[in-house]
Chains A and B, each alone.
Chain A
Amino acid sequence: MEQSTSGTVATPASRPDYDMDIVKKFFTATVVWGIVGMLVGVVIALQLAWRPANLGLPWTTFGRLRPLHTNAVVFAFGGNVVFTGIYHSMQRLLKTRMWNDTLSRIHFWGWQLIIVAAAVTLPLGLTQSKEYAELIWPIDVAITLVWVVFAVNFFATVAIRKVEHMYVAIWFYMSFVITIAVLHIVNSLVIPATLFRSYPIYAGLTDALVQWWYGHNAVGFFLTTPFLGLMYYYLPRAADRPVYSYRLSIIHFWALVFLYIWAGPHHLLYSALPDWAQTLGMVFSIMLIAPSWGGMLNGLLTLKGAWDRVRTDPILKFMVVAVSFYGMSTFEGPMMSIRAVNGLAHYTNWVIGHVHSGALGWVGMISFGMLYWMVQNIWNRPLAYPSWASHHFWLATIGIVIYTVAMWAAGLMEGLQWRALDDAGRLANPIFLDITHRLNPFLWLRVVGGSMYLVGAVMMGINFWKTIRGPSAPAGARVEGV
């Protein structure tokens, strides 16, 4: 750990002329889209518990809003938060301003335009139907172009760096930039029929395998590796401690990027996909526990010597819970990839619970921790309402627990009741809807848990608004650690 990174704010004289405006832009977009995406999530949760919430209109039914929710939280919230962290941390880690400010702005405005295009087209029913790759082909082309702009700027900035070695966060960012490009292009190969409609060059189970190779690695390389990069920069900074083990970071980085890419077929267990592919997906998913937990341990052990501050500092609380949820969901995922377990879990609410323990618990909480740390540092002022950060933390944590426990219960219930046979070997629950109706209380619980999480995010937004508009801290004052 160099001295300059363990202090709070470097003196202006020693700090290169970093582009902070682009960081602030992505920061603002993150908070706005995050709240929008989570709000749509609560709406569709309500639709499943209470049918009238579909409103009887084409563009507000569950089938059209669900992709809007997933795209908004993954690419609008998740994407913008990662870009916020990358533009902020990579300039510091490489001790240089971004290579080209214009490319940074094309990236920013291009990405926001893509999000707006998604928010318009998805409710209109314009979709390719592949999960997390629903956007129609012209938007896919735009994503490719914007990604190239980002990648050029990223690698050029790495090339002009003023430090010799690339820190571990940069490795994770690099794997994100490269892999998302590969995944997006291969999964988006289609023949257009009209401006709004296209058909994939792959058919049937080949198309399904390509999609889940993409889909699982969107989780791996959009929602995991860049966020691990953020963890490796912001957790040590917030805790004021060096990363626990350098060697562990090497092993778990390379193991993670090598193993993750194989795991896609676990989404197609018990399908007619060849057994060898299903088995590879299962085995590599189980092996993924090791590098995932390597990352978790490196994060948690970095707090060695700072645990007393975890009790009082909401930023560290968010980060500790985030890393813990990362560990839990990367244990649960491999378990669900075991064929026999998957036979029960697949197609049920259990999967939704698993996804949200990762998304709300890991991605959301590490983002909140980073954002609370960052708002005070880049605007150089203390939080307007420090206690609200604690309230947000507890609302979010309890909300996640309610959400995931409700989904576990609902998932196990429907999984078991779908397959239950009576003594004569007939279906014990021949009417599908009977089982559906028994799930309703849990679906309401999910609305409660999700709403708590949303309210916390709104409180964060108000807090940031007031902070940014408030007076800045006196020169040299220490602003972090609310």
Chain B
Amino acid sequence: MSDHNHHDSETGYGRFHRRVFERKAGVFAVATTVAISVGALVELIPMFTASSSASWERVDWVTPYTPLEVAGRDIYVREGCYLCHSQMIRPMRAEILRYGPWTRAGEYQYDRPFLLGSRRLGPDLQRVGGKYPDAWHYEHMRDPRSTSPGSVMPVYPWLIDSKIDPADIAASVRALARVGTPYESTDEAWVAGRLQSQGATIVQNLASAGITAEWDDEIVALTAYLQRLGVEGRAHLANQGGDS
């Protein structure tokens, strides 16, 4: 089997291939590397150069995730929410009607990792921010069927009992700052202060609905993240007028 004794191996490019590529493993390996590199370089390099300058992916109407939103996003990743919920509204009539204006590139500029999703077992969440009150999200995570009768989503009661750790989130903020996210500070004290002040607002909203929570509950962080999704984009696009 190591040798081809076929009629078509001794003519034309077959002979050339046998003489050069099949006898010299180094040549073969280099040729393979070149073959797989062309497409990769053509598609990826323009993206790297474009996103490093102020261009198509950079807009000034989207702000970085706050420390509490970073904590919420980490929970969203941990629970695998992205496996059932996309964050990408496509420029199609039905999608715009159902979810709002289609998603612009710049709205993802601080997304590390990206969370576009590949499956919609549940609805898209790219513009879910502001769609429901904070208390809705609290109840929905505790038991999705309490707000969405017949929902197929699992229950997440542990988000109510578990706490976020400010030191842990400060480490995340520092790593995000290192890859270029503009934060005014990465001090643990600054991070803790931002966590508490944003968390307090959500705790207050929940209290007015009769729910007792604390600023460092995981459910508060996740709510903060969900409530900002797509909000800045929606406001900007509304001001611009025109189609969605």
Contacts and interface: CB of A to CB of B under 8 A. Distances in A.
B112 A351 contact: no
A127 B32 contact: no
A109 interface: no
Contacts of A199: 112-113, 172, 175-176, 179
Given A419-B94, A436-B121, A178 B36 contact: yes
Interface stretch (B152-160, B188-196, B236-244): B152-160
Contacts of A54: 154-155
Given A95-B2, A165-B2, A206-B57, A200 B113 contact: yes
Nearest to B86: A347
Contacts, number: 292
B154 A61 contact: yes
Interface in B97-114: 97-98, 102-105, 107-114
Nearest to A210: B44
A305 B179 CA distance: 61
Contacts of A267: 118
A426 B97 contact: yes
Interface stretch (B9-17, B201-209, B221-229): B9-17
Given A125-B79, A166-B22, A270-B92, A213 B172 contact: no
A241 to B, nearest CB: 11
Contact of A58 (B6, B115, B158): B158
Interface string A1-35: 11001000000000000000000000000000000
> Which residue of A58, A126, A260, A264 has the most chain B CB atoms within 10 A of its CB atom?
A58
A206 B47 contact: yes
A174 interface: yes
Nearest to B32: A175
B54 interface: no
A436 B123 CA distance: 10
A129 B115 contact: yes
Interface in B1-52: 1-6, 8-9, 12-14, 17-18, 22-23, 25, 28-29, 32-33, 35-40, 42-44, 46-48, 51
B35 to A, nearest CB: 4
A203 B88 CA distance: 15
Contacts of B111: 203-204, 207
A206 B171 contact: no
A1 B94 contact: no
B82, B112, B151, B172 — most chain A CB neighbours (10 Å): B112
B29 A178 contact: yes
A197 interface: yes
A347 B175 contact: no
Nearest to B102: A272
Interface in B160-185: 168, 171-172, 174-176, 178-180
Given A194-B168, A245-B6, A254-B35, A165 B23 contact: yes
Contacts of A167: 1-4
B131 interface: no
A2 to B, nearest CB: 6
A208 B92 contact: no
A475 interface: no
A436 B22 contact: no
Given A2-B2, A63-B84, A127-B80, A191 B35 contact: no
Interface in A38-78: 47-48, 51, 54, 56, 58, 61-64, 66-67
A166 B20 CA distance: 11
B159 to A, nearest CB: 9
A419 B92 contact: yes
Contacts of A94: 2
A254 B104 CA distance: 37
A271 B148 contact: no
A414 B98 CA distance: 14
Contact of A129 (B48, B82, B98): B82
Contacts of B17: 250
B154 A130 contact: no
A64 B75 CA distance: 12
A347 B117 CA distance: 8
B36 A175 contact: yes
Contacts of B115: 129
A242 interface: yes
Range, interface on chain A? 35 or more
Given A192-B175, A250-B13, A270-B91, A204 B79 contact: no
Interface string B60-92: 000000000000001001111111101010111
Contacts of A423: none
A265 B43 contact: yes
Contacts of B133: none
Given A2-B1, A174-B28, 18 more contacts: A2-B3, A58-B158, A64-B79, A125-B80, A191-B175, A203-B179, A205-B105, A206-B48, A211-B114, A221-B36, A243-B6, A270-B91, A271-B90, A277-B43, A347-B117, A418-B94, A419-B92, A420-B94
20 contacts: A61-B80, A63-B80, A129-B115, A163-B3, A167-B1, A174-B25, A174-B32, A178-B36, A203-B110, A204-B111, A206-B57, A208-B108, A211-B114, A233-B1, A260-B36, A272-B108, A274-B56, A348-B120, A352-B119, A433-B149
Interface of A: 1-2, 5, 47-48, 51, 54, 56, 58, 61-64, 66-67, 92-95, 125-131, 155, 158-159, 163-167, 171, 174-175, 178-179, 182, 186, 191-194, 197-211, 213, 221, 233, 236-237, 242-243, 245-247, 250, 254, 257-262, 264-265, 267-268, 270-274, 277, 280-281, 284, 343, 346-348, 351-352, 414, 418-421, 425-427, 430, 432-433, 436-437
